[in-house]
Every structure is written in structure tokens, then in C-alpha cells.
A and B are shown apart, each in its own frame.
Chain A
Amino acid sequence: MLKKGTLKQILLITDGCSNKGEDPAATASLANQQGITVNVIGILEDDQSEQPEGLKEVEDIALSGGGVSQLVYKQALSQTVQTVTKQAMTQTLQGFVNKELQQILGQDQSLEDLEPEKRGEVMEVVEDMGETCDLEVLVLVDTSASMHDKLPTVKEALIDLSISLNSRIGRNRFCIFNFPGKRKDIQKVLDWSPALDSISSIFPKLTSGGITPTGPAIREAMYQFGKKTLLRSLRDEDESGMEEA
């Protein structure tokens, strides 16, 4: 029915609203149309209520990006990062399955309209796919000034995510960008790699800037997925140029 494929996700970790460039929900929507899911985790201050006005954006970005969002206090970040990632994988795969089901059973049929026994069988297929599919996660970390004291926790959570995902059968690739970059909207922290245990040494060096260009950051992040294949095809002609970019 479905062949094994690669799921692509952007995981945005932020603590506030964007204040520069285009609407991040719009760029997230563009990313989603290109087969990339955008998940957002909003970190709350310890004294913040569970539903602050400023973090409404977090939900909007994930909704447009076809992903999952969650507001969380720093302490629960590790578990949240991995739940959100896995939930989004299941959601995407279920989306594929639903499309297939509609072709077989008609427009109005979805997985949840099946009787419980059949639904169980279909969910087993979804689970199998989630376990075996390949996954690419681009982590986009907000390093604006207010995030400074949260970065050690973010680092821990990302290492933890890599432990979880690398316990799957399918392969994983991660890369990390932070925004705002020194001169550009985003800046590479770690290039595509199968695990994140190497980030301990890089993370403490991240500097924090003032503004939060979330929209432009998602736009730039989106291009990082295509880049590998582009790189491969252009390798002979212009390798150094691509590396630079």
C-alpha cells in the first residue's frame, strides 16, 4: 500500500513571539505544502500562566505547518520534545493512511469512522510505519536574549530526543540551526548527522541576540531539506559554493 519513505520535520523551540519579517504561520504553511511538518514548542517562564497571550503564535504556526504544538515549563522539556516529535510522525502517517482509505472507501471515510476492530488493524500498520520510516528533523532554536538561561535545558532535551529516536528501527538525521544568526536569519549549529550527542561542546558557545525573526527563520530552514539532494547533483560543478551557502 505505502512504500517506506522519509518524514521531514522542523522542530521550532521558542519562548516568545516573532518581531521581525513575515508571519511565521504563513511560512509554516508553505513548508507544509512542500511535505515538511512544522512542530512548535513554547517554553513558559516559571511564573507564567499556562495560557499566555503572547504564545498564541505557537499554536498558529503548528496548525499551519501541519504539526503539533505544546506549551511547557522548562523542567518538562525533554519528555515534551520527544512526545511532540512522535505525535507529529503518527499524525502525518495517519494523514497518508486516511488519503488511501478515502480512495478505497469514499470521500467521507476516515480512520476514525471505521469500526473499532478494523481501526485496530489499520493502526498497527501506522505504528509499523512510524517505527521503520526514516526521519529528518531540523531543530530550530530561538536564541534571542530571553532564551539564554534555557539553552542548557534545550541541549539536554535534544540529546534525549536523539536517544529516543535512535531506539527506532528506522534511520534518523538531525541538524540544528539557531536564530537570529550573526549576519543571517539563521545560523548552522550542527550539520545533518545521525545523532546529537556531539552537541554538548557546541551549545555553550551559542550567543544570544535581541530580535526574533521566526518567519524568515522557518523559510530558511525549509531550504535546508532540499539542499542535500541539490548538493549531490551539483557536487562536481560548484561544491565549495554550496558549502559556503
Chain B
Amino acid sequence: MNLIGEKISYKPDEQFHLNDVSFNFKKGNLYTILGRTLSGKTTLLKTIAGLLNPDQGSISFEEKDFIKIPVWERNVAMVYQQFINYPHLNVYENITFPLEQRKLSPEQIKKDVDEALKTVGLVGFENRKIQELSGGQQQRVALARSLAKKAKILLLDEPLVNLDYKLREQLREEFKRIFSEGLSQDTILIYSTTDPQEVMELNGEVIVLDEGKVLQKGPAKEIFENPSNLKVAEISNDPPMNVLKGSKNSKNLNFENIFLEIPNHLKNLEDKDYNFGIRASEIKLDENGEEFEIELAEISGSETLLHLKRGNSKIIALIEEVMNFKIHEKVKIKFNANKFYAFGEDEKLVSSPYGGTNG
């Protein structure tokens, strides 16, 4: 009864948009697809919706070959990152459109639409024109249209990316409520995003996609704690996880002429060269720390992002207060050695502070 994709490949031009992607989505679950722009997220969702036919591979749903069913008979719902609504219809008509297409009774349509409007918080906006709504409201209409359909597969393609920061925060909170209230237990929800924070908050099963390939699958917590390789570590952190080329010997960790005491979880590692990973938030300003040069300091909200340089290494530190720095100024920082990841030279995870290894 699941939505199963096997070895799906799609290569319309020189590059793979999807490369050997397999999945098994169970009803009642939330799946997030995490990947940078152009990693194939939209292609994957469009393939599931039926807007694209893969060159290879199969998709089945409820034991039926999905690829043979045309889009308009698949009963899926999709919300795009652009706010796509029918501009010639008002809010109410926009939401009834798919229901009327399915020739439901007027009573049923009214009930479903009212319910959906309530869920997304647009009661009272029924007769508004789409053009009169703000971006956030337009996206709510698109979401309401998808919810009212009661489709068995709901696809959300970066629904928040085109909204401003504040609205994004607000709608993200609401999404969690909407997903728990507004969906029945046999819906498969697939949500794609570039934002690791969204993935963590939605807390579903995650698929990390890059250049059309699946890099890692697993629960959000697992992806965060034990990224299987450097790419995943980069994609699943914002700012991306810092990478420091260095080595371990019997006494300490060594990179850019910095020597750190070996944290417990790295003690049993073989002595050789590694790519060490450390999150931006695990770097603190400290008078007794190591000297780095500031390349750029950005203030974002109540935080300061410091782009630092030492030797050949460039790292980003996240300081949790607003501070003013001069470019090329020297600062001293300290690494939280207990949160060091070790990746091998093949970029695969060797050891993580949460106990994960890559077998």
C-alpha cells in the first residue's frame, strides 16, 4: 500500500536530474527532501505527481503502476514554491476547482472547502481576488486547495522559500499544526526544502538529495547527528559545517598549526589524516583561543556570522550576540573539541560526537 519508487533516473540533457533514486513512503508519514537548489527535489516531486516521466525506474502506489496513470487521474496535490493559484478565480473558487473537477456534490464541496479555509486561517477571505492577497495568503490558498482535495499524496515543493523571514517563521509553525490536524492518517506528505532548520522542526523522515542522487536517508535527528559524509554535513547545516583538513596523532588533533586535546569520542581513531567537521555554533570567542583573521562579519538577526581565515582554512563561526568587527581584524576563538566530527579522506564519516560511524 506504500508509495514505492525504484531506481528512478531522469536525464533530459547532459546531467542527471535524478540518478538511481529509490524510496518507500508509508501512509500517514511526513517525508522531507533536503537538498540545495537544483539538486533534483522539484524533479522528484514532479515525477511522483506525474508531470515528468522518468527515463528509467518504476513508481507504484497501492500496488498499481503509477507511471501508467496520467497526472489528472493520480489524485495527488502539489504546492509550488511560486504562489500558483488560478488568477481568474477568487479564493473560494480556487479551492473548489479541483473538487468540482472531481464532480463531488455541492454539499460535500462546501464542507471540505470550509474545513480547509479554517485550517489555513483564511475564513472571511472567500470572495477576495488572488491578486489582492499577500504572498503568505496566496500560499495559504494554494495549501487550502491541496488540503481540500484530500489527496492521498501531498507534495510541497519549498512552500516557504519565497516568503519573507517573519512570515516564513510563522507559517512554518502553523505547518506543524496543519499537518497534524488537517491530514488524514492515510496521507503521504512529502515536503522539499533547502533549509535544514525546517527539516529539523518538521522532524520527519529525511532524504538528502544532491545532484539527483540520494546521499542519506533517515530520521531528521539521525541526519543531524550522524551525517554519512561531508556533503550531507554541508547540506544539513546552515551555515554549512566547517571543514578543517588535519590529522590525528597519539597526543592531539592537529590542523593549521593548532593542537587540540583529543576528545573522548575520537580517542580510538587510527592516527592519520582526517577532514574534521565542526558546526559554526560550536566555535566561541575566547581570549585564550587560537588567532584567526576576519574576512567578513555579517549580522543576521541577533547573531553575528564571522567568516574567518587561517592558513588555507576558511571557517564560519556563529556568535550569539550582535558585535561589530573590522575586516582583517584578528580574533581569538576556541573550538568545542567534544563536538568534532571526523571524516576520512574519502569524505565519509568516521566518527561523530553522537557515536555514529559509517560502518
The answer to whether A and B belong to the same complex is no
